[in-house]
Structure 1
Amino acid sequence: MTDLRDRVNDLMPGVYSDLAALVAIPSVSSIPEHHPDVQHTADAVAGLMTGLGCPDVRIVAEGGQPAVIARFPAPEGAPTVCLYAHHDVQQAGDETLWTSAPFEATERDGRLYGRGAVDDKAGIAVHLAALRAFDGRPPVGVTVFVEGEEEIGSPSLARIMERHADLLAADLYVICDSGNWQVGTPSFTTALRGLADTVVEVRTLDHALHSGQYGGAAPDALTTLIRLLATLHDENGDVAVAGLATAEPFALDYPEDRLRAETGILDGVRFTGTGPIADRLWGRPAITVLAVDSTPIAKASNTLVPSARAKVSMRLAPNQDPAAAMQALQAHLLAHAPFGAQVSFHGGETGSGTVVPSTGPIASAATAIYADAWGEDVVEMGQGGSIPMVADFQRAFPEAEVLVVGVVDPDSRMHGIDESVDLGDIKRAALSEALLLEHLAREASV
């Protein structure tokens, strides 16, 4: 055990350097112009696996962005562990708001800043460090699976899993794409919300009208859309759409003063919703208006606009069927259309939430292993974000155990400006993973 600790510690400077090189590639899967960068990152990850001496490294794409599958065969009688991460990232947004350039990894005060530094190229770094601790010869079978389109809902993942099931089959899946209760405290994610989104369009007129001539009688689409969107929540900010599920309450206390510090909510602004904060964030539905299409202010005139659109996103309780939730949302919007406006829907994605049991023999052992590696007890928590592929793995490989871990912390700002990761947490997570592989090998030899 001491040897692994020393080995991981010695390896980290090189791992941080490799992580910085990955961050420098703007692998934004949602923008077609960056698809060559997504391919570049897949090639880079494949190169890192080849550099470890992995005998079977493949880049696969089943109609979507490229994923990397690297397989280290299991010794006789040993189990196989699949280590998951993703190499695609979100857009950087307004780059002028970043303290340092988003695609130039920058270290400040023990944190590495850059788009993808934590979500989820840090997951790749964790797996890389754990495998390097064994000089690329892990004591159990290991399959590294690094996906290339998680940030756009993993549209081709099901095809990859179906067509390459023999390559991805494992006894344990370690999904390194989640978060911890705080820096230095390991956590297992035991519940993940699902998601559903759609674009709703409101039409009130067949052409634009002069607001002075017809305002006061003819409804403009933008005001009508605003009124419609306002019906999605009650006066307390709780979701008002009927038929949406809620999960069992969480035992973990999430103090409001902590949430206030983490979110940067402005003075005088109240939080939305009622009930325990952990339940609001992890076990209940949430609805957000992500964007609105209408006339920009710079091009505004005194005109009643005939149509307006908004993208509406829902986060769903872990036990909610996303298709049923989409139907409930659309039924609500149709039923509450002001002034008899025409309401239609365009596109949309859904993803399943999931409950991740922590009672299996591997998960129980992992609890002690991670606590030893971090020097802190493991916290079981939910995540408000969605990782639909966890449910996909559970359905495809029902006999396997799943661990959902990661290195996101309350200060990471994933998807936001100045995304970052605590470098010490990467080292602790890598050590935990290496110790877990060692434990599985020892158990298999008994």
Structure 2
Amino acid sequence: MTDTADTEAGTTQQDPAQTIESALRNAVERELPRTIADLCTLVRIPSVSWAAFDRAHVSTSADAVAELVREIGIFDAVTVTQAGIPGTDELGQPAVLATRAAKNGRPTVLLYAHHDVQPPGLDEHWESPPFEPTVRGDRLYGRGAADDKAGVMAHVAALRALHDATGGDLDLGLALFIEGEEEFGSRSFATFLTENRQALRADAIVVADSNNWDIHTPAITIGLRGNVTFRLTVSTLAHASHSGMFGGAVPDAMMATIKLLGTLYAADGSVAIEGLTSHDAPTPPYEESALRQETGLLDGVQPIGHGTILSRIWSQPALTVTGIDAPSVANASNTLTPSVSVQVSVRIAPGQSAREAAAAIEAHLRQNAPFGAHIQIDDLDTGEPFLVDTGGWAVAETRLAMTAGWGVAPVDIGVGGSIPFIADLVREFPDAQILVTGVEDPDSRAHSPNESLHLGVFTRAVLSEAFLLGRLNERTGH
């Protein structure tokens, strides 16, 4: 028999959940050209937050983001604001803060992304100008096209779709925080959280600044390495001397630096610093051929480290010398160099504190300084690693939303990079569930020349977030 509650006058009632999902999908697809055009407008603003670059561009970017957020018509308040940098008289770069109060027992979700970008590097390394968004094939190229102005626009587009699908009649609480200095160390982040704690308080926090497994498969980031970065200066002489006159008897700083840096690595290229730990976690299959394709590893060059490839990237420490201050080849002379400075970046595994790791690194350097060389460590910066609790309702809702948006269930991944400010979020909001998602894929090349966004990935990421917000708007009893 046909239940008359389900059928009336020849029409069948629809599942409300499917109805809102269909409305959200239609809204996202209808607005996609506008969304991409707005993303291109943001990419054209060279909002590099580093000290050597013009702060006015970051302000212009913040104002542009704020205007996009106001136009949604969903927030009670939208402001551009700055917070002080601890230990200085300076203000950090401008951020956008928007809020909307929850109603009728609905949860509040905080959406985070950042509108500042990395320096572009040399123009000749780009196939198209870094701040002129260019579509080639399925990808949009430009500095910030992926990291993280696409994250900004994913939030904006999902909120637009939510507004359209509900007619603006929603109960979900919202806070939107679009930072302006993530690429320069989030120096005012902790102060910003403290000063705006009440406005930012949420039941769930979505950080849109990570990766996906590939262009067809979404991911939830459940582990992040921390970081310890510093400048190391090695000195052996009070002044330079002629290498022919004294070489062979006097250790110059370059020799000492090379020998000292060599002690940081084991024979297989893994980090050889006593006291740095690894995190034991399963990893999905990942072939060496994929590593070669995604990184451009040259023929004949072998990967370093031990264990599964993904454990080396996600769960073990890594050390990179990212810069050297020393005489250039063009200016080389037959001279014993008195001092050499190097910039060192160490990624630390989830489960170890950054302070503990920094102490182990310093102890190793001082114990292994060759020939009694003097060493100095300064400009030390640390960021805590992070492990996501995957047992909460917010993760479960996100899995369902991603599966609907992508047509494929998400993969849990770790990330070799660091998002140190998450530790600040955990400290300020210990009861909030933190979700790390993103719009990037293995070919996005964030921070590198020819950074790009896969437009299919972006569309599916927007759909997933719209579905998540739609689900949370119906959720009670959180």
TM-score, normalised by the number of residues in structure 1: 0.98
In structure 2, what is the equivalent of residue 127 of structure 1?
155
CA contact (8 A) 1:318 1:353 kept: yes
Indicate yes or no: 2:58 matched with 1:38. yes
The one-letter code matched in structure 1 to 2:78 is: V
Give the Cα–Cα distance (whole angstroms) in 1 for the partners of residues 264 and 389 of structure 2: 32
Give the Cα–Cα distance (whole angstroms) in 2 for the partners of residues 398 and 93 of structure 1: 38
The one-letter code matched in structure 2 to 1:331 is: A
SS at match of 1:85: strand
CA contact (8 A) 1:283 1:318 kept: yes
Give the Cα–Cα distance (whole angstroms) in 2 for the partners of residues 34 and 272 of structure 1: 39
User: 1:176-199 CA deviation, whole Å, 9 max, x = no partner?
Assistant: 000000012110000000001111
Superposed displacement of residue 75, structure 1: 2.7
The one-letter code matched in structure 1 to 2:52 is: P
Give the Cα–Cα distance (whole angstroms) in 2 for the partners of residues 432 and 139 of structure 1: 19
Indicate yes or no: 2:104 matched with 1:76. yes
Q: What are the equivalent positions in structure 2 for 1:115-264 lying under 5 Å apart? A: 115-135=143-163, 137=168, 139-264=171-296
Match of 2:30 among 1, 7, 10: 10
The one-letter code matched in structure 2 to 1:298 is: A
Match of 1:434 among 441, 457, 466: 466
Superposed displacement of residue 165, structure 1: 0.1
SS at match of 2:474: helix
CA contact (8 A) 1:250 1:278 kept: no
Indicate yes or no: 2:92 matched with 1:60. no
The one-letter code matched in structure 1 to 2:360 is: A
User: 1:194-240 CA deviation, whole Å, 9 max, x = no partner?
Assistant: 00111111111000001111111111111211111111001110100
Indicate yes or no: 2:124 matched with 1:104. no
Give the Cα–Cα distance (whole angstroms) in 1 for the partners of residues 438 and 118 of structure 2: 17
The one-letter code matched in structure 2 to 1:270 is: Q
Superposed displacement of residue 104, structure 1: 0.6
Give the Cα–Cα distance (whole angstroms) in 2 for the partners of residues 441 and 92 of structure 1: 39
SS at match of 1:349: strand
User: 1:298-349 CA deviation, whole Å, 9 max, x = no partner?
Assistant: 2221110100010011001011111111111111111111111111111121
Q: What are the equivalent positions in structure 2 for 1:339-358 lying under 5 Å apart? A: 339-358=371-390
How many residues align? The count is 446
CA contact (8 A) 1:70 1:145 kept: yes
The one-letter code matched in structure 2 to 1:35 is: R
Q: What are the equivalent positions in structure 2 for 1:331-410 lying under 5 Å apart? A: 331-410=363-442
Seq. identity, %:
46
SS at match of 1:297: coil
Residue ranges of structure 1 left out of the alignment (5+ in a row): none
The one-letter code matched in structure 2 to 1:250 is: P
CA contact (8 A) 1:153 1:351 kept: no
Superposed displacement of residue 139, structure 1: 4.3
The one-letter code matched in structure 2 to 1:197 is: T
SS at match of 2:147: coil
> Over the residues paired in the alignment, what is the CA RMSD in angstroms?
1.3
CA contact (8 A) 1:83 1:127 kept: yes
CA contact (8 A) 1:322 1:352 kept: yes
Residue ranges of structure 2 left out of the alignment (5+ in a row): 1-20, 85-91
SS at match of 1:299: coil
SS at match of 1:133: helix
User: 1:153-190 CA deviation, whole Å, 9 max, x = no partner?
Assistant: 21111100011000100111011000000012110000
CA contact (8 A) 2:162 2:469 kept: no
Superposed displacement of residue 445, structure 1: 8.8
CA contact (8 A) 1:29 1:38 kept: yes
Superposed displacement of residue 100, structure 1: 0.4
Superposed displacement of residue 34, structure 1: 2.3
Give the Cα–Cα distance (whole angstroms) in 2 for the partners of residues 257 and 264 of structure 1: 10
Give the Cα–Cα distance (whole angstroms) in 2 for the partners of residues 348 and 106 of structure 1: 38
SS at match of 2:53: helix
Match of 1:273 among 305, 322, 326: 305
SS at match of 1:59: strand
Give the Cα–Cα distance (whole angstroms) in 1 for the partners of residues 268 and 329 of structure 2: 30
Which range moves more in the overlay, 210-219 or 72-81? 72-81
CA contact (8 A) 2:280 2:315 kept: yes
Indicate yes or no: 2:322 matched with 1:290. yes
CA contact (8 A) 2:162 2:470 kept: no
Give the Cα–Cα distance (whole angstroms) in 1 for the partners of residues 373 and 387 of structure 2: 39
TM-score, normalised by the number of residues in structure 2: 0.91
The one-letter code matched in structure 2 to 1:11 is: E
Give the Cα–Cα distance (whole angstroms) in 1 for the partners of residues 362 and 477 of structure 2: 55
